[in-house]
Structures are given as C-alpha cells and as structure tokens.
Amino acid sequence: MQEILFLLLPIAFYSGWQAARKRYKERQEKRKEISVRFVRGINFLLSEEPDKALDVFLNYPEIDENTANTFLLLGNLFRNRGEINRALRIHQNLVARSDLSKAQRMSAMLALGEDFFAAGMLDRAESVFTELLKDDPKRADACEPLRNIYEQLHEWDKAIEITQCAQQRNKADHSRLIAHYYCELATQELQRQNLFKAEETIQKAAKASPASARVIVLKADLAYARGQRSEALQIYQQAIGKDSRLLGMLFNQLLNNFEKRDELENLYAFIQKTFAKTQDAKLFAYLLQLARKLGKLTDMRTQVEEHLTKGKPSLNTLVHSTEVLASLWREESACEIGQIQTALQKLAASQPDFQCEHCGYKMHGYLWRCPACHQWDTVSNV
Ligand SMILES: [Zn+2]
C-alpha cells in the first residue's frame, strides 16, 4: 500500500504544479489588464479628457497600496485645479471601497473632507473630520481643517476646543489663536451688555495670551461699558502704546466716546508723547485732527514745518498739514508754499508710476510683462 502511495506522489506533485502555474498565469493576465487600464486612464488625463479618465479609474477592479495613493493624489490634483466635483467623485469612490487598508481609508477620508471644505459644504466637511477624530483621537491632521470650519462658521467655543486639542496633539503653540477666539466671544458678550460674562471671557483670553494688545483693548471697552471713563481712556492708551497701529482702529471710537475737553486734552498729550518717541507718520495725521478739534492748529506750526521738510509725509498727513498752513495763512496772510512743494515732490517720488491693468500690481519702472500675473502688454501709467 505504501508503495502505491509512493508511486502516486509524482502525479500529485505534477497536478499541484499545474494548478499553481494556472493561478500564476491568471494573476499575470489580471495584472496585465490592470496595467493596461491604468495606462489608458493616464492617457485620457494627458489628452485633457478628465471625464473619460475618471470613468476608467472609478471602475478600477482592484486597488493596491500604490494605486490607492495615485488615486488620492489624482483627486487632490483635481481639487487644486478647482475641479471639486471630480475630486469628490474620486475620493468618495475610494472611501466606499472594501479593499482599502485602515490607513488608506483615513487618508481618503481626510481628502474627502478637504473636498467638501473647498466646495463650501462646511457641515459635511465637519462631519467627515469629526468622524476621523472619533476613529483615531490621536491624529492631529483633522484638527486644523476643523478649526478653519469653526472659524468660518463663527463657532468660537468649538474653535477653542479643537485648537486646544490640536495644541496638545502636535505640541504647537496656538495660544494667540485661542486668545483671539476668546476675544470674539467677549465682544459678543459686551454687545449683549453681559458685562460679568464678558469680564470672565477676557480673563480667559488674557490667560491664553498675556501679551495680546486686543485683550487690553477689550479691557478698556469693558471699563467704558461700566462707566469707568478715565480708567478706560488710560487702558486704551496702554494698548496704543503697545501697538501704535491700534490708533487707526480706535481713533473715531475715542473721539466719539471721550468728547469732554479734559479727556481730549489727555488724549492729545498722549499722542504727542508717543509721536515724539516713535516719529510714526500715521500718529501725526491723528495728532493734527485732534489739534483741529481742540482749536490748536496754529500751535502745530513748527511740527508741521519739520514734518513737511524732514519727515516722511504721506497723502494723509499732507492733507492735514495743508490745513494747518491754510489756517496760518488766514491769520498771517502768508503761506510757505515751498514746504508743501518739497513734501509733494518727496511723496510723488515714493509712489509707483506704473500699474498692471490686469491684476493691479504697481511698479516703479515700465515692464512689458507684469511680474505678478505674467500678462504681456498690461502695464500702463497710474
Ligand atoms: Zn498683473
């Protein structure tokens, strides 16, 4: 009996070899067919027939790691070209496939969420990214898009929560952003006259970013809302001292809120002091406006003359300076037109002479081709 079995061995070996050979041949043929499909899809793409290419890729029989990555990139390419519908079709098809690994599915979902975001479908994008985070609470790449969504929706509470999570996950410092979100919430509370809640929120913002100038402005807003006028004015000045750009944002508000003579004098003295320290031309324009309000235009004579001849006059400071000179002229029947001329010459020299009619880019010298939008023959005189 054992001998018969021994004799049957070569036959069993031969039939096993035949079956393996057949399977190998089938696999080879399938692989060949898949390669042909892939090349056909790429050819459609290269010949600018993206819909035909999409049909080939969406009906692709089997996906391995390489093809999954290629499809993912292809979808991203469509999205970057603004062809969101095509990107959505590719990424939705990928997510729905059963032959993807977990990591591939996650990447496809991330891309799908970005497609929804680019298409402005924020609620669908939010649910995709939230699901991703639920699946893997440690991943940080879903936090940033979620933060963008909540920013666009003005859902500041959720924006704070997701930014705090992101901060823990990727160890990056987002405290400035968190402070801005708290400031948005505090502004809402101030508008609703919920002063206690506003104070609480401002404290949270200050804790997130103690150096934030916006937090100081909100503290001043709160003091003003409570009727603490002199304290409010002092805090506003503290904010402007920290960041002089804030004067531009706050100037009209300050003029409206602090209309008493002593308050305006206080503000005038503060801006004088800050201007003397920084020589910031933007401050000078506001200083002249305040001087006019206080009837002190003629006191500004020396400063105006210095600014026009030695400073860096802007169109704005020039407008207000000529007002000072005009008032002097009315008083003394004399006007130094030479100073205005010098200032105007300086200003004109600093302005670009040419502008692109296509994109608005300004330049000092003429160019045949715009360096910003690369269009030809679009540059002309301003
Ligand atoms: Zn241009």
Residues 299-343 pLDDT 10s: 888 888 888 788 887 877 888 888 777 777 776 665 566 677 777
CA distance 222 to 190: 7
The whole-number pLDDT of residue 126 equals 93
The whole-number pLDDT of residue 128 equals 92
- Answer whether residue 238 shows pLDDT above 90: yes
Any residues with CB less than 8 A from the CB of 132 and at least 6 apart, and which? 106, 109, 110, 113, 139, 142
Same domain, 356 and 339: no
For residues 39-67, average pLDDT: 72
Q: Is the residue at 4 inside a domain?
A: no
How do residues 68-122 score in pLDDT, each as one tens digit? 888 888 889 889 989 899 899 989 988 888 878 888 888 999 999 999 999 999 9
> What's the maximum distance between 2 C-alpha atoms anywhere in the chain?
136
Ligand 1 centroid from CA 351, angstroms: 17
Tokens, residue 258: 């602090």
Same domain, 157 and 83: yes
Please name which of 98, 89, 33 lies closest in space to residue 63, comparing C-alpha atoms.
98
How do residues 278-296 score in pLDDT, each as one tens digit? 888 778 888 988 988 898 8
Q: Is the residue at 32 inside a domain?
A: no
The whole-number pLDDT of residue 13 equals 59
Ligand 1 centroid from CA 87, angstroms: 30
The whole-number pLDDT of residue 111 equals 93
Ligand 1 centroid from CA 377, angstroms: 10
CA distance 235 to 213: 10
Ligand 1 centroid from CA 381, angstroms: 13
Same domain, 345 and 364: no
Highest mean pLDDT among 103-107, 167-171, 268-272, 292-296: 268-272
Same domain, 341 and 374: no
Q: What are phi and psi of 137, to 5 degrees?
A: -60, -15
Ligand 1 centroid from CA 39, angstroms: 39
Ligand 1 centroid from CA 248, angstroms: 30
- Answer whether residue 255 shows pLDDT above 80: yes
Same domain, 151 and 214: no
Ligand 1 centroid from CA 370, angstroms: 5
The whole-number pLDDT of residue 78 equals 87
The whole-number pLDDT of residue 298 equals 79
Same domain, 68 and 148: yes
Q: Is the residue at 2 inside a domain?
A: no
Query: How much is the pTM?
Result: 0.70
- Answer whether residue 5 shows pLDDT above 90: no
Same domain, 249 and 264: no
For residues 342-370, average pLDDT: 84
For residues 357-367, average pLDDT: 89
CA distance 148 to 146: 5
Residue 209 is part of which domain span? Answer: 173-258
Domain end, chosen from 238, 258, 278, is at: 258
The whole-number pLDDT of residue 285 equals 85
Confidence of residue 3 (pLDDT cuts 50, 70, 90): low
Q: Is the residue at 8 inside a domain?
A: no
Q: Is the residue at 155 inside a domain?
A: yes
Ligand 1 centroid from CA 119, angstroms: 27
Percent of the chain with pLDDT over 70: 88
Ligand 1 centroid from CA 358, angstroms: 5
The whole-number pLDDT of residue 333 equals 61
Q: Structural domain tally of the chain?
A: 4
Ligand 1 centroid from CA 76, angstroms: 28
Same domain, 225 and 266: no
Ligand 1 centroid from CA 371, angstroms: 7
Same domain, 184 and 238: yes
Ligand 1 centroid from CA 356, angstroms: 5
Long-range contacts of the stretch 171-179 (C-beta < 8 A, 24+): 175/208, 175/209, 176/208, 176/209, 176/212, 177/147, 178/205, 178/208, 178/209, 179/205, 179/206, 179/208, 179/209, 179/212, 179/214, 179/215
Range with the poorest average pLDDT among 47-61, 172-186, 263-277, 368-382: 47-61
Ligand 1 centroid from CA 231, angstroms: 49
Instruction: Judge whether 239 and 216 are in contact, CB under 8 Å.
Output: yes
Side-chain-facing half-sphere of 55: CA atoms under 13 Å = 6
How do residues 127-145 score in pLDDT, each as one tens digit? 999 998 888 877 778 888 9
